[in-house]
Structure 1
Amino acid sequence: MKITDLLNKSGIELSNGIKSKEEAINKLVNLMDSTGNLKDKESYKKAVLERESLSTTGIGDGIAIPHAKTTAVKNAGLSAMVVKDGVDYDSLDGQPAKLFFMIAAPEEKGDVHLEVLARLSTILMDEKFRERLINVKDKNEFLKLIDDKENEKLNEENSKEQKSGYRVLAVTACPTGIAHTFMAAESLENKGKDMGVSIKVETNGSGGAKNVLTREEIENAECIIVAADKKVDMARFEGKRVIQTKVANGIHKAEALINEALSGNAPVYHHSGKGEEIQESNEKESIGRQIYKHLMNGVSHMLPFVIGGGILIALAFLFDDYSIDPANFGMNTPFAAFLKTVGGTAFGFMLPVLAGYIAMSIGDRPALAVGFVGGMLANEGGSGFLGALLAGFIAGYLVVGLKKLFSTLPDSLEGLKPVLLYPFFGILIIGALIVFVINPPVAALNNGITNTLNGMGESSKILLGAVLGGMMAIDMGGPINKAAYVFGTASLANGQFEFMAAVMIGGMVPPLAIALCTTFFKNRFTKRERQSGLTNYIMGLSFITEGAIPFAAADPLRVIPACVVGSAVAGALSMAFGCALRAPHGGIFVLPVITNPLGYFGALVIGSLVGMIVLGLLKKKVD
């Protein structure tokens, strides 16, 4: 709010014969009353006099700013007066007051009077500006002088802020890079605005890093918040105060994170490349949390290969002619063969990429090649997804061990470590471990699991479908959701496509159930929630479960059970209808490539309606 928003011509007096402080206050109160901002003139005047009894509002240099915050004020406002000869106002410097501004603030509108008082005091420090106001002859000119001076001051402040950069920087990242990443960024930015804290947020989403932090911004920032569930580039933050936390905290605890960032108590980050111990976070991470982060780093890099390759393979079956050669279905026509070859090539990178980036998350860049080779050997040796997981973790910790082992070598050999010693010994050792130790038992276990799943009766499969669907709705993008999704993608590699169908439909139901509920049970939601519910139609159909998170966070005891029930029903029906999905993503847009698409769509509709009804029954009416 600007000064000129509160001051108009009817509240200004430029020439009069005021002789005393009492007369000055009476005149200013009358001017204020003429602006229509007062409910009760006498009560307001009483509040002004009470404020004067505490200490004079004659601040010196010929300025007086009497003010009051009271229920007698209808709207915040200003009145102004010029007395060229001056008035004895008991000013702090003992000099007469010539320039008067009176502030009226309503009780319920916060501290607007303090905000305006501070800005008035600032611009009135300019002696030449004061003299021009005192000698002005026209009310319009009086207002223009104030407006020009205030704009000049605001421009100076904006220029200063832009030059100094941002007080707080942040990086957000989640494994899939679709929803949590951007929700956390929006939450931090909005809370920073509310708190008056300049903040810039870099997002590490599925499309790469956006709004990337510059070196100058990092140098000037007081603290960096890293809200991520996967590894991000940390070397650039060497020597800065850094808070590392979960991406979910970026969504739900933005204010607490910003306050901590400004407190000066965040730990100083030292990157391992500097030969110092890594200060990961002021939060003590459990072993389970660390394993989850490493796993999600692998999964996030693996997903583009799985999704792109999986959809191309599914399209190959859609465009092929089964009757030509049933045994060669998917490769019978040239176009189908092209799609399946390209998709199969992309899909083939799934396990090496998974293992490689798990390893890199643990042992940094030198572990990438070791993990890739371990993942490929696991893939070729029949140990599949489980073997690649083990290969990634083994490769990562193997390289960490090699770093410690070779740390005693002379500094002159430092350059040989990443290009010779780590890859040679790392690949040799991981090769031996995977081929002779991991592959035999894990391949046998894999075959046992595959045979068990294939041999499941109809009722068992339906039950598993319900479990997988329900898991997708429990934490909506969290560890349980990701565990179900990883199981689905692993099943794809083993040729069991019906499980992926149950997983995806389970993830689609929560946003859809909420969207339907906001449409048909409107009295259970606020106007803002109903507006947000509309976007959940799109998010649900696109298989973005995270759209349900704001509703689940606001009312978890009602929203989560309703979503779990709906997702479990949808997952069970998908399995009962014999639906199968070769693509691990895509939502409604890959419906044509799903086995029994009508049954799948029916399962989605029924599950969403069940979730809607349960949520509508559980939620209470909103006033």
Structure 2
Amino acid sequence: MITTLINQDLIKLDLQADSKEAVFNELIEILFAQGRISDKAQFLADIQAREAVGNTGFEEGVAIPHAKSAAVLKPAVVIGVSQSGIDYGAEDGLPSKLFFMIASPDGGDNHHIEVLAQLSSKLIEDGFIDNFINAPSNEAALALLLAEQNQAAPSTPSHTDVANQGFIIGVTGCPAGVAHTYLAAEALQKGATELGYDILVETNGSIGVKNSPSADDIARADAIVVACDKQVDMTRFAGKRLIKTNVKAPIKDAKGVINQALAAPQYQVEQGANPASQAATSANSMASKASDARSDLYRYLMNGVSHMIPFVVTGGLLIALALAIGGEPSEAGMAIPKGSMWNQILDVGVVAFTLMIPILAGYIAYAIADRPALAPGLIGGWIANNGSFYGADAGTGFIGAIVAGLLVGYFVKWIVSINYHKFIQPLVPIMIAPITGSLFIAGLFIFVIGAPIADLMTSLTALLTSMSTGNVILLGIVLGGMAGFDMGGPFNKVAFLFSVGMIASGQTQFMGAMACAIPVAPLGMALATALGRKFELFEASELEAGKAAGAMGLVGISEGAIPFAAQDPMSVIPANVLGSMVAAVMAFSFGITNSVAHGGPVVALLGAMNHPLLALICMAAGATVTALTCVALKKMRKAKLVAVTA
């Protein structure tokens, strides 16, 4: 495959770029010049969208940006070398020097996955990276890439007879299901060969599960290495020597991981567990119980957040684009004229935003109890976000989605753990668990959780109404705090609807304060990710999501901060609340008014606010407070975690 996608004209050994963005542009120019893509801007946007899901910078100076795009005319791989290196946001914090950009047609075959699998075998080859970076010419570099690996017997084997020591099974998978999955697989294969073992590696990639071991394979295996950050069926390995670790471990030391597996105790299935429930309950036996519990909860939340981020980014940027270019201020808020194509783009963005909360809940539940929990998790998230089910003016937002996902996950986990009759057991994952889980979470929200939420919203509205004639500083604290607390949830919605209602009575200062508080959370997270990069406080996916959050904040879309709050609520929510309070209090103090039902810098720039410059200062101050507070809290939590684990 790789020989058909690359030639010496698609290699550049002297990149001039000094930034990640510049690397993208320089490599894209080569693709365009070679007739591989038709639209440079479209392909760049698709590459950046992939980066928003997760940074493609890896260890040892290698980065693999890739995308499936409608702009690709013919699949290709373009390779660039930066001799000085650039800050790409790689996981090891070191500069990236070697770049493989993979262009694959949208709707076509999964060329980028297949190429990644082939590149993996070269990237773990001893000396390949350094030799390629130092290649004297494009021809020499291409020859290195296409050269067959040295098949000579490995030196210094760990066993006296390397002919056939036994058989190992590996399982690899990373959250994005791309590069690390195949790098780990190749590393395990190389390590097993050097130790004299045959090996079969199951890859849980974005194109599905490949090379799954049969029952006979498992029966004859000497040990199992599960190097996976995704949920896998662990029950099938009961009674085998097994080590469970992260996907990066074999990339760093495959032989060490395999030797640990060979010396590990036999894996025991949790009492009453079956493949559906066990997939989400396996824990690293080498970690402490307290660490396992925290790690599992974090993994559940991250599974939901990682699946939600593309919906947040897609919806947020489409809505932002539509409002920024096609929108006009009106009494009802930022509006797009009828008949404009921007209405259709706005509608597509709204669809993505509507789906993001159910996706968050569904994949949290999926992480806990696998596929039987997915449907009830999605349903629970939809109900949680739709207040009409329980008579509230607004849903519970992302907080309700997290609650719904966790409740559904643990409920379904319990349902599938029951010992059913053998004739009923096949119906459990496809019928019994999804139906009972859906009824459970629907009933809980409609009849138990819903009524208090509706009463809470009524009480909050009454509170704001009673405070409207009182101290504006106190009102700014309350209004701003509600705006920043849940980013589209009941507190945010009550504050927004109250402010909109006050416009009708001629009191536009409330909407002025709200308009300044609304963008603080996403703008603050964008700034926090920029400030926190050198402290390694954010995941790679968060660093990319921060850029999208900044764009959303500019047009008043507070939901851009939801992924950050869902992943680390203890640091992010207090920071958002404090920053939003500062912005709202400043807005009241400056006498800022707003006559349209929308917020963010775009409203000030379009002339809907009486003091646009002061309004921008309020927003900037709030965002700065949020960013500094978030970074400080994350540093404190990180230091505490290090102290506990030391």
- The TM tier, using the shorter chain, reads 0.3 to 0.5
Specify which structure has the bigger relative contact order, considering alpha-carbon pairs within 8 angstroms and separated by 6 or more residues. 2
TM-score (norm 2): 0.44
